[in-house]
Amino acid sequence: MIERQEARLHVIVEGYVQGVGFRAFVQDQAVRLGVVGWVRNRWDGSVEVVVEGERVILEKLLTVLYRGPRGAQVTGVAPEWSAATGEFKGFSVRMTSG
C-alpha cells in the first residue's frame, strides 16, 4: 500500500491577481481537489494561499495558480513547502491582511 504524503503549501501569487475573482477561483479549485486551508488578498496587491493535503494534489493546485482565472495576469508564484499541521477542517476566504 502506498502511503499518502500529507504536506502544507504556502504560496504568494503576484501580478494582476486582485479584482479578477482569484480568491473564488482558488476556493473552487481547492474544494474540487479536496484540500483544506485558506486564501486572502494582501495589502501589497498579491494573493496568499495556505493549503494542506496530499502533496501530489497540492502540486496540481500549484500548477493552476500559475495560470489563475480568466482576467488574471500572474507574474510571480512563490511556493514554500512544509509539514502538514492538520489545523484546517475546510477551505475559506479570509480577510485582507499583510
Catalytic positions, written as ranges: 23, 41
Amino acid sitting at position 44: D
CB atoms within 10 A of CB 38: 18
CA-to-CA dists, residue 29 to 2, 19, 43, 66, 98, angstroms: 25, 18, 23, 13, 23
The SS3 call for residue 35 is coil
